Structures are given as structure tokens and as C-alpha cells.
Amino acid sequence: MSNKILKEDRPHVAALGNATDFFAAEPESLRTLRAAAYERFAALGYPGREREEWKYNVLALAELQRMTPLGAEAGDLAAEAVTSLRALAGDAPLLVFVDGIYRPQQSALGELPAGLELTPLTGGECPAELGAVAQTEDAAFAALNTAFWRDGVAVRMAAGARLDGPLELLFVTTPAAHGHMVSPRTLIVAESGSEVTVLENYVSVADEPLLTNPLTEVICAGTATVNHLKLLREGDRSWHVGSTHVRQDAASVYRSREFILGSEMARRELHVALAGAEAHCDLGALYLGSGSQRRDLRTRIDHQACDCNTSTLYKGILGDRSRGVFDGQIRVAPGASGTDARQTNRNLLLSDDATANSIPRLEIYNDQVQCTHGSTTGQIAEEQLFYLRARGFDPEAARAILTHAFAAELLEDLEPPALRELLSDELLRRLPRGELIEALS
């Protein structure tokens, strides 16, 4: 990796200088990819309020510059901790990453089905698809991940193969990551006619200030199906800035469900390119905020081919002084006739001090399309409260029931059932008067 930019007086790269030595032994092709990303980050710098896509969620620059990439000093994780942290029990294949480093001795792969190939990304020869989908041109954190990821996994489903049940990727941060940046990298390739479900589960075993900066690339070949689940339950002092980049070929299906429950600041970006005719994309997310937490959700859906359809439903529940941002853009290219794209954002505010910003956008260059977007933000409607109070519920109980019902919509069709049960329990624990809802159910 080139060091020429380190000679320049750029504060945002000064602290990263020694990290370039991490990858001295890698193949030239990978070093070239990293160097280009590093150069790009040097040109972009950390984003501030002057950047349109960050004007509602400015990061503390001084803190970011202190979060250097974590090296070989990754922490330890007891075997019994894995059981309590994983989202899926039983025979579900499990890969464990501790502070961004793959831990085979704590993973549980079992007997993998025919057609599923898992390749650790340890900095050696990597799949040709790595870096093919990720957009780093105008994305500082995606460029940072590409420059500094240390480990990850490539998931490949062979043509026509099917994985019954999900594969869980457990990403754990420990006290060793205090003041550092951890950058997991994931690549999912579903070949023609295959189907796979992947769960990314992000948790912390200590409440430390740190930055998790993951990047996932997904390639859906023709008629392939990828079910992609993300669960964020990190510590209240951590930051999470992650992105997913997807390319869909003809008649493929990509389904995404994201649940943002933890961390002081969580920003999730989802970029989807529907590059083949009749591709289908279904996106959903639920984000909770309390205290002074910040939630920032961005979707960029690019309809490039004809007769594709997308459906987006993002819902936020924000209390105390928390703040949520949803910025969703749908772009329809000139040749993408027959597009059917629907986008909805709903925010429920539990206090007068909570704030939600909703920015739905359509960019359409074809007349033969059906595109809609809608956004609602507010507190619980008085008529809904009256309905429950007329049936004997006190005001606090009525609010709790309506808040839980608002969140539960995104759990109704969630698979597998074990994940649905885990998230139901999390909602009962995190939402107001969850014990009352549990007693009524």
C-alpha cells in the first residue's frame, strides 16, 4: 500500500499511518484495492455538516480521529459467552468474529450442505467478486473498510443449491477494541437459482467507546434468492457505521430486514442495484432510540432494468431526546419501464423531545412506472388511546400496547421463528411497560 499520502498534512489520515504495515504481505491485487480505497478516503476525509448526506447526523471529528484500526490485539471471548450472544441456537451454522477476527475454535459449522462454500477473508487470495459491488467513490467509511478490514467471510451458494435455515455471522466487540475501529468484511454470492439466508448479529460484551465499520457485498445471480438479516445490539457507548451493497440480476430476489436496537449512534446504508429484468427487492427495518441515541437509515435503490419492483418499509420508535433520520431514494433509469417501487417511512415519537427527519425521494426518468413514497411522524393518536381506555386500560397501559403493536408489524413474517421470538423478547425489554405486554400475551 502506498505511503505517499502520509507525507501530507492531513489530520484525518495521520493517525492511520502505521496501520498500512498490517498488510505488507498481501497479494499485490489486494494491496492495490486497499491503496485505492485509502487514497479515496484521504481525498474525502471524515464527513461533516457540509456534506448533504450527513447534515442531520454530524460525528465528533476529534473522537473519530482517535479511533485507529484495531490490529492483532483483538480480545478474547469465553466459550460460554458465545451461547448467550448468538441469536440462533440449535444446528444453525455459526461463524464467530471477535473484534473483527475470525475465531474458528468458537464457531460451529457442523456439516454444511452441498453447494455452500465459506471462505475466510484473511488477507490472502480473495474471491474475484470482492470489491466489485461496494461503492467507495463518495463514501468515506466504505473506503475506510476497504482499506483496513482484517478479516471476514465469503459466502457462496452454488447454482441451484439451497440452505435450509439461516447462517449466523456473530460479530462481537470486546474491551480490547476500546478507542479503535473494527472493520468486518462480508461477501455473499448466490449463484443462479440458489437460495441462502444470512444473519449478521452485532453485539458487545463491554460498554466501551469504539467504532464498528462493517461492509457487506451481495451478488444475486439470475433467479437467486438472498434473505439478509441484520441485528444490532451493541453497547450504548459504541458507534456503528455500516453499509450493504447489492447487485441483482434478472428475476432475482433480495429481502432485507434490519433491527437497530443498540449503540449510541447507528448509521446503516443500503445500496441496491436492480440490474436485471424482473428482479424483486423487499426492504424492512425497525429502529429504536432512547436517551440521546441517534439512528440514521439510508436506502439507495437504483432501478436499472425493466419490470422490477421494490417495497420499502422503515419504522422508528424514538423516545427521550433521541433522534432518527430516514433518507430513502429511488432512482428509475430511462430504460427501466414497468418499474413498481413503493417506499414508506413511519416514526412514532414517545416524547416531546424526540426528533425524526424523513427524506423520501424519487428520481424518475421513465414515464411507464408506478412509484410512490409516504412518510408519517407523530405521537400516538388520541383516538387510538380513547379506544383502548374505553375498554378498561389505563393511559400508560394503552400507550404500551399501541407502541408494541407499531413495532410488531415487522416481526409478523420474520423467519426463522427463533429469531422472531428473540426479537419479541428484546422489544418487551426495551419498550415502555414491556412487562405489561408480556402479562397480557
Residue pLDDT, tens place only, 122-171: 867 789 899 999 988 889 999 999 999 989 999 999 999 999 889 999 99
Q: Where are the beta strands (DSSP E) in 350-401?
A: 355-364, 370-378
Mark whether 45 and 174 lie in a shared domain. yes
Q: What is the pLDDT of residue 332?
A: 97
Q: What is the pLDDT of residue 32?
A: 86
Mark whether 272 and 384 lie in a shared domain. no
The pLDDT mean for the chain works out to: 89
For strand 116-120 and strand 152-157, is the pairing parallel, antiparallel, or unpaired? antiparallel
For the ranges 44-53, 179-188, 192-201, 331-340, the lowest mean pLDDT is seen at 44-53
Per the CB < 8 A criterion, the answer to whether 325 and 370 are in contact is no
Q: Determine, yes or no, domain membership for 371.
A: no
pLDDT category at 10 given cuts 50, 70, 90 is low
Q: What is the pLDDT of residue 80?
A: 82
Give the chain's domain count: 2
Q: Where is the domain boundary, 243, 276, 309?
A: 276
Say yes or no to pLDDT of 393 above 50. Answer: yes
Name the residue with higher pLDDT: 207 or 158. Answer: 158
Range of the domain at 398: 380-441
Q: Determine, yes or no, domain membership for 322.
A: no
Q: Determine, yes or no, domain membership for 149.
A: yes
Say yes or no to pLDDT of 7 above 50. Answer: no
Q: Determine, yes or no, domain membership for 439.
A: yes
Mark whether 91 and 205 lie in a shared domain. yes
Q: Determine, yes or no, domain membership for 344.
A: no
Other beta carbons within 10 angstroms of residue 367's beta carbon come to: 7
Cα–Cα distance, 1 to 123 (Å, whole number): 13
Percent with pLDDT over 70 in the chain: 92
Q: Determine, yes or no, domain membership for 136.
A: yes
Highest mean pLDDT among 50-64, 220-234, 369-383, 397-411: 220-234
Residues 321-348, mean pLDDT to the nearest whole number: 96
Residues 189-208, mean pLDDT to the nearest whole number: 95
Q: Determine, yes or no, domain membership for 263.
A: yes
Q: What is the pLDDT of residue 117?
A: 95
For the ranges 87-96, 150-159, 234-243, 343-352, the lowest mean pLDDT is seen at 87-96
Q: Where is the domain boundary, 276, 293, 316?
A: 276
* pTM of the predicted protein model: 0.93
Say yes or no to pLDDT of 348 above 90. Answer: yes
Mark whether 268 and 386 lie in a shared domain. no
Residues 4-26, mean pLDDT to the nearest whole number: 55
Cα–Cα distance, 376 to 372 (Å, whole number): 14
Q: Determine, yes or no, domain membership for 284.
A: no
Q: Where is the domain boundary, 276, 307, 328?
A: 276
Mark whether 408 and 268 lie in a shared domain. no
Residues 275-294, mean pLDDT to the nearest whole number: 97
Mark whether 222 and 92 lie in a shared domain. yes
Cα–Cα distance, 121 to 102 (Å, whole number): 9
Cα–Cα distance, 226 to 189 (Å, whole number): 9
Biggest alpha carbon–alpha carbon distance for the chain: 71
- Cα 397 from chain centre: 32
For the ranges 97-106, 166-175, 360-369, 428-437, the lowest mean pLDDT is seen at 428-437
